[in-house]
Structure 1
Amino acid sequence: MNENSLLNPTSRRNLLRGAAAMTALSYSRVYGANEKLRLGVIGAGERGRGDMGKFQLDPTVDVVAVCDVYAESIDKAKQKAPNAKSFSDHRKLLEMKDVDMVLIGTPDHWHAQTAIDALNAGKDVYVEKPLTLTIEEGPLVVKAARVNNRICQVGMQQRSGKHYLQAKQEYMDTKRLGKITLARTWWHGNTYHLRRAPASLQQQPSNLDWARFLGPLKWRDWDPQQFWNWRAYLDFGGGQVTDLFTHWIDVVHMFTGQEIPSAAVAAGGVYHYKDGRTAPDTISVLLEYPSEMTATFEATLAPGVTGEGIEFCGTEGRLLIDRRQYTFTPAGRGATPVTVQRMSDLDADHVNNFIECVRSRKRPNGDVLIGHRSAQASHLGNIAYMQKRRLNFDTVREQIQPL
């Protein structure tokens, strides 16, 4: 990956300034197995609090700080971490010397900048997926992690899921599927993209910093739907593609070893929910990879259509996998399928892997570069959708080729 090609001089100076500010102690810091790790939570909404709870399953983790633009979210988080300090600006939290690691559960448009700020402050980072809002942000976050020698895990929990790892070992690593020519993925009826703002938010709460929530985005007056259901607006995220496909394309990358598409096409639109959303309620993406394989994604929010999964289609059989189980069906008429159920809590497994890597300083399962590559693949699908054309992607320079 040519990270420098996307770094402007100001970004380079900021990264180097952050690295220079690091102390020798923070570079060499290695924690004992029972030594306390102090966590700061940035973004204490429903997902952030859920992730925080997984961290708290480890008795060596203390939640010492919580940050959110909405005081009600902080109050809810502090019900589980009553001694945590409260902040509305993540930069103030990052000034705390006794914060070792941070969990970033903000909306997508804050992921990259918050992660870079935390990495430059010498913190190890667990950031929810997608890593970035735009395709250009990825190399900046990767470089911040590498320059500052920090652990950065992206929340793609399938990377740590035991039944995913077993399926990969049994059927992909052994070539029992033969040559993979198609990986089909789908995720229909995800209700998070249909959330309606409660009556309590019709007027902006006095303890909610709307300007801080918008951050780098252009100003717009208070809009309860854009705050509550930000996933439906392309200003804040990439819709179903970056929210859902990023998970599944990451599994495709993990299983096949192919991480950089060579082309992308997409089609879809707001076909049913004419409620002001800008992210399509129905979308189809097709990516082509250099190994002569295609990966597809289909998603619709149409009422009555639900379900999600991944199907690897090979010359010697097919493998169907989701978060509950996997099923291998050998090629040939009358073949008997083999099904294996999920073995553990994927979220807890992924958090545990991060904590282990904070202690050992090894690269985590969902390392920042892996997170960048999976977000990048999703961004290509969204860009193809918005530009209404086939994108050809330079897999060496990792750049969209001009028309």
Structure 2
Amino acid sequence: MVKRLRTRKGASVETGISRRNFLIAGGITALSATRVLGANQTLRLGVIGAGGRMRGLLDAAERTGVPFEIAAVCDVYAPRCEEVKQRSRATDATVHHDFHALLDDKTLDAVIIATPDHWHVRIAEAALASGKDVYLEKPVTHTLEEGAVLLKAVRSCKQILQCGTQQRSWSHFRNAVSLIQGGALGRVTQVRTYWWQNYDVSWVPKPVDVAQLDWKQWLGGAKDQPFDLEKFSRWRWFWDFGGGAMTDLFSHWIDVVHWAMKANEPSMATMLGDKHVFTQWDCPDTIQAAFRYPGFDVVYEGMMSSSIDDGGLEFRGTEATLKLKRSGMSLWRESVKSNENPVLKEDSFIDGTVTHMRNFFDCVVSRQEPNAPVEAGIAAANAGHIGNLAYRKGGLTTWPVKGSGK
């Protein structure tokens, strides 16, 4: 595949990063995200949580070209287990109702966890303790307190844990971070993040055969409550199971901000949120939020009943602005005429989930640190939790919370 990168004739980045060097850097970062795995090593994987996100992860895994087999699958809803078994090379996979039984399989090299958020740390901790490497979907934690638990679990063992913030392995995101850290934008004092989705169009709950679902097991440590299709299908929007847009969508973008700006904890958060459309949810469907970091601010806006413009980030500096989406990036200079901007543009050529999964597989073999280490995943989740804390406290919070010791 050929990466498509365009610059205006005669334009320069003016930071010592020439177009040729930028192309070379792009090649280096892309290669570092897709190291070569031994051709004769077939990885045995366990799948825990076999819903829609897992389907996407397995699709990406198949596109890596890495030889693997799905050896075991666990889900509390039986039809989902059968769906995974029907995938190529998965027909002999063992099926489990309880994740502990899957983890007892000593032949598994690694597990992929894509359950609702409230199960993430509990399952990841058990998987690491059983000697399995882990790919853990984001957000890696459901509460602020769980961060210390997960960090200890990872750093007290020799296992690999890759957090599911795939931008860390996406070549144009890696190039964007290099530009920002190289000074191409001047001094960055504001980062705008946004994400709009339309659940009325993109995610309509499908009927569930309750007779094949262990609802009590799905609830886990959450309070007992009757089955509800909305909660089962759109669990992210209920505090018992998820954290709404702040831990789902925002966590992706704030991870990129932390990475690029080398700062991973806000000192203050304010959040205005409302339930204008999806009044049955706990979490707001419409959000404006702002976070103060050392020397710069981050803003986020989004809603769940309009998808025009999708999601992205804008790093605004004194010399240039970098606009970044999953589809690519562009750099706009303050000193260049509008009809000559952007001075640099790069289009995405592959879904970063593929290269991120490839990086995980490579690290399982090499035992190297993955692109998205546990500390980064915890910091991204924490920012979302802090935003939600501000919302639930009336719109504003400082961090650490005064008098809490946290």
Say if 2:79 is the partner of 1:72: yes
Deviation of the 1:121 alpha carbon: 0.9
Say if 2:195 is the partner of 1:183: no
Which of 278, 289, 294 aligns to 2:297? It is: 294
Say if 2:173 is the partner of 1:167: no
Aligned residues: 362
Residue by residue over 1:37-82, the C-alpha shift from the partner in whole angstroms, topping out at 9 and shown as x without a partner, is 1100000001112212322343421110000000111111111111
Task: Compute the RMSD of aligned alpha carbons.
Answer: 1.8
Deviation of the 1:150 alpha carbon: 1.1
- Structure 1 residue aligned with 2:315: 312
Q: Distance in 1 between matches of 2:59 and 2:392?
A: 37
Counterpart residue type for residue 385 of structure 1: Y
Residue by residue over 1:309-358, the C-alpha shift from the partner in whole angstroms, topping out at 9 and shown as x without a partner, is 10000011100000001010011351521221003221100000011111
Counterpart residue type for residue 120 of structure 1: A
Q: Distance in 2 between matches of 1:90 and 1:68?
A: 8
Say if 2:406 is the partner of 1:401: no
Which of 348, 361, 380 aligns to 1:374? It is: 380
Q: Distance in 2 between matches of 1:254 and 1:40?
A: 30
Describe how 1:4-403 pairs up with structure 2 within 5 A: 34-57=40-63, 58-80=65-87, 81-169=90-178, 171-191=179-199, 195-198=203-206, 200-201=207-208, 205-274=210-279, 276-290=280-294, 292-303=295-306, 305-332=308-335, 334-335=337-338, 336-337=341-342, 338-394=344-400, 400-402=401-403
Q: Distance in 2 between matches of 1:321 and 1:388?
A: 31
Q: Distance in 2 between matches of 1:214 and 1:233?
A: 12
Q: Distance in 1 between matches of 2:316 and 2:72?
A: 46
TM-score (norm 2): 0.85
Q: Distance in 2 between matches of 1:161 and 1:95?
A: 34
Identity score, percent: 38
Q: Distance in 2 between matches of 1:371 and 1:384?
A: 20
SS in 2 for 1:56: helix
Q: Distance in 2 between matches of 1:95 and 1:304?
A: 43
Deviation of the 1:117 alpha carbon: 0.8
Deviation of the 1:192 alpha carbon: 8.5
- Which residues of structure 1 form unaligned runs of 5+? 1-30, 395-399
Deviation of the 1:191 alpha carbon: 2.9
SS in 1 for 2:212: coil
Q: Is the 8 A contact 2:75 2:98 kept in 1?
A: yes
SS in 2 for 1:182: strand
Deviation of the 1:211 alpha carbon: 0.4
Deviation of the 1:304 alpha carbon: 6.2
Q: Distance in 2 between matches of 1:185 and 1:354?
A: 27
The more displaced of 79-88 and 326-335 is: 326-335
Q: Distance in 2 between matches of 1:130 and 1:194?
A: 21
Q: Distance in 2 between matches of 1:143 and 1:193?
A: 41
Q: Distance in 1 between matches of 2:277 and 2:210?
A: 31
SS in 1 for 2:392: helix
Q: Is the 8 A contact 2:269 2:387 kept in 1?
A: yes
Q: Is the 8 A contact 2:287 2:303 kept in 1?
A: yes
The more displaced of 43-52 and 326-335 is: 326-335
SS in 1 for 2:283: coil
SS in 2 for 1:206: helix
Q: Distance in 2 between matches of 1:381 and 1:251?
A: 17
Q: Is the 8 A contact 2:196 2:306 kept in 1?
A: no
- Structure 1 residue aligned with 2:12: none
Deviation of the 1:228 alpha carbon: 1.2
Residue by residue over 1:64-112, the C-alpha shift from the partner in whole angstroms, topping out at 9 and shown as x without a partner, is 0000000111111111111110011111100001111000010111111
Counterpart residue type for residue 140 of structure 1: V
Deviation of the 1:226 alpha carbon: 0.7
Deviation of the 1:35 alpha carbon: 2.1
- Which residues of structure 2 form unaligned runs of 5+? 1-36
SS in 2 for 1:236: coil
Deviation of the 1:32 alpha carbon: 5.7
SS in 2 for 1:99: coil
Q: Distance in 2 between matches of 1:192 and 1:115?
A: 32
Deviation of the 1:193 alpha carbon: 9.8
Q: Is the 8 A contact 2:198 2:307 kept in 1?
A: no
Deviation of the 1:261 alpha carbon: 1.2
Deviation of the 1:194 alpha carbon: 6.9
Counterpart residue type for residue 147 of structure 2: G
Counterpart residue type for residue 216 of structure 1: G
Q: Distance in 2 between matches of 1:137 and 1:125?
A: 17
